[in-house]
Structure 1
C-alpha cells in the first residue's frame, strides 16, 4: 500500500512527514510524535508587545527549572539574512507551517526538563492547531493581558531608549492592533479548552510574577503528587 506525500513544501516538513510515515509502518503501535513530548509539561506564554513576556518567561524558567524557548529567536535563527531560501521560509511561516516543526526540534533536546516554557507563541490560531497536531497539547497557556495604552506607552519608551525605528506612533499602533486581532481567536480557543490563565500585566513585575506562579501551581491539581516530587513550588 503506497502513501502519497506533498513534496511541494519546506524540505524539513517533508522529511518530518516521511519519518512519521516510516515509523507508522515499522512500528504500528508507536505514536509518530515522540511520546516523551506528550508527557512533558508545555506552557505557552502569550501577550501583546510590551507585555513583558520575555522578561517574565526567563524569570519563571529559572524559578521552576523549566527550559525556556523563544519562538522569535527560533524563527530568527531559521530566517538567515542573505539565505536563498529566505523568501520561501518567510512564506511558509506566514502560512503557520514552519514554526511548530522548528519548536518541536528544539523541544526534542529538552525532554528531560521539568517543563518547557514557550515564549511568544502561538501567534495565530492556525499555529496553535498545527502545534497540537504535530507536537502536543499545552498543559497551560499564560495570557499576559495589558491595555492598548499600556502597550503603546511601553513600546514607545523602549524605542526611545534604543533609538529604534519602531518608535513611530503609527507603526506601534498598527503592531498592537495586529496583535489584538490575531490573539483574540487564540484566547477564545484556549478558553474553550479550559487551558488559559489571564495574567494582569498592568501590575508591577513582581506582582505579575506572583500571578504566573499561582497559575502554574494551580495545574498541580491534576497531577499534584508527580509535580510536588519534581519541586513545582513557587518560592518566595
Structure 2
C-alpha cells in the first residue's frame, strides 16, 4: 500500500485516477481548488464501490482498512508562490510513493488575441505549479524512490491553431518531465499524453470550438486512468516513460 498525491483530483481524469488507486488499497492526498468538492470526493471514496478492496502489492496487506487514509488539501495552482505554505498546513507525509499531476486549464484563442494574463494563467496552472509541487515534494519522493506522473496532452506533442498557450504549457511540461527523469535517477517519471477525453474540460473546449459535445466521441477518463495506473504498477526493473492514449 502506498500514498499518492493527485492534483486536479475533482476533475475528470484526476477523479478517475483517485477512484482506481483507492480501489487498489492506497492512501490518497487529494488536491484541488474547491474544499467543498474535495470533501465530497473524499466522502465518496471512503464508502461504497470505491472503498479499498485490492492492493497492487498483496504482500503489503498488513494495515486494517481504518488506517487507509484520504486527506484533502485545497490548492490554488494559479498561485505557485503560495503552494509551499498550503502544503505545510496540510501536513504531508514524509514518504510519498507518487504524485499524479492531473490539474489543467485551457482557453482557446488565436495568438493575436491572447493577452498576457491568459498566457500567465496557462503557464501557472499547467507548468509552473507542477514544477513547484514536484520540487517541494522531492524529499518525500526520494525517501521511497517514488513515481511522478505528468498528465500532459497530445497538444504537448503538436500545436494547432488557437491552442498556442495551452500547447506551450504542455510542451514545457514535457521538458520538465524529461529533465526530472535525467536529474533524479532513483525516481520513475512518466508522461501520459491523452487525446480528447470525455471531461468537463472537453465540454468547454467543444463549446469554444462551436461544436457539439458527445461523450461517446472521446476516450473515457476511466480508460486514461487505467493506463496511468498501469504505469504506476510496472515492476521496478522498468519504467513507462511516455504513453499516448487516443480515442478510437
Please indicate the TM-score interval, normalised by the length of the shorter structure.
0.3 to 0.5
Query: Which structure's residues are more often helix, by fraction?
Result: 1
TM-score (norm 2): 0.37
TM-score (norm 1): 0.38
Which has the higher Rg, Structure 1 or Structure 2? 1
| Bigger RCO of structures 1 and 2 (CA < 8 A, at least 6 apart) | 1
